[in-house]
Amino acid sequence: QITRVTLFKILKEEDQQHLLDLYKQVPQKALKDGKPYIISAKTKPDQRAQGFTVVAISVFNSINDGNYYETECAAHNEVNKFAKTAHQGVAMIYSGNEVRLSPGHELEIEIN
């Protein structure tokens, strides 16, 4: 399994709530070949550290599902489109026993 943790710095509480609301829809809306493919998706406000205010945790069966989520999933695209307009920083971490990326991709841990 692959776990993806995304931390967002979003200052406005209404934007935090909107992002949480969008993420709540992802498990039902995220389909691959017409079927749900995300094992688990959780979000919550996170006021504990470094100004990050929202944490999103998604679990996938494989790195291929994680790559699909990142590049082709319409539900994730909707979340991503809003998040890009609202955040002042983001950090993303992938972990799992199958973290192998396709040629031309690099594993990044980015903190803005």
CATH (domain of 56): 3.30.70.100
Residue 31 resides in a domain: yes
Residue 53 resides in a domain: yes
Q: Would you call 84 exposed, middle or buried from its count of C-beta atoms within 10 A (0-12, 13-18, 19+)?
A: exposed
Number of domains in the chain: 1
SS3 14: helix
Residue 110 resides in a domain: no
Identify the pLDDT of residue 112. Answer: 36
Residue 111 resides in a domain: no
Q: Mark the ranges of the chain whose per-residue pLDDT is less than 50.
A: 99-112
Q: Tokens 């599902």 appear where?
A: 65
Q: Residue 66 sits in which domain range?
A: 2-102
Identify the pLDDT of residue 48. Answer: 60
